Amino acid sequence: MSFKVLIVDDDSGIRKLLGRFLEREGFTAIEAENGLEGVEIAKKEQPDLIILDVMMPQMDGLTAARLIKFYKPLSEVPIIFLTAKDAEKEIELAEEARAEAYITKPFDVRQVIEVVKSLFEKM
């Protein structure tokens, strides 16, 4: 079985890069370009894990994460936040949104893949 990973980021380059590396590792990657679209696609596609940018137009990642976790069928789906911010307050907010991991940009794709794999091993 291939795990489905939803990548939500307003930067198409980041979405494509992560998607390509995830698919090389045997995962199925799906994409959304903002938080609002991410919530809609998450409800429709029921991903096994979500990689979510914090700063996006239309709906930020923290709001999207809260909506996703509030939706019962997705309440246990692990979320990894990707963000350019490294402030302690942002990490606190990510924890409040029940994120399983927090990775700052710029990031090493291998680091993201390792976090994804470790979260799936815990499932």
Mean pLDDT calculated for residue range 29-45 = 97
CA-wise closest residue to 70 among 98, 33, 35, 37: 98
Cβ proximity of 52 and 38 under 8 Å: yes
Q: What is the dihedral angle through the alpha carbons of 47, 84, 99, 63, rounded to the nearest 10 degrees?
A: -80
Q: What is the pLDDT of residue 86?
A: 64
Alpha helices in 25-105 (DSSP H): 35-45, 61-70, 88-96
How far does Cα 10 stand from its chain's mean position? 12
Q: What is the pLDDT of residue 109?
A: 93
- pTM recorded for the entire structure: 0.92
Q: 17-29 b/e with 16+ CB inside 10 Å = b?
A: ebbebbeeeebbb
Cβ proximity of 28 and 5 under 8 Å: yes
* pLDDT tens figures, 94-119: 777 778 888 888 889 999 999 999 99
Domains and CATH numbers, the chain: 4-118 (3.40.50.2300)
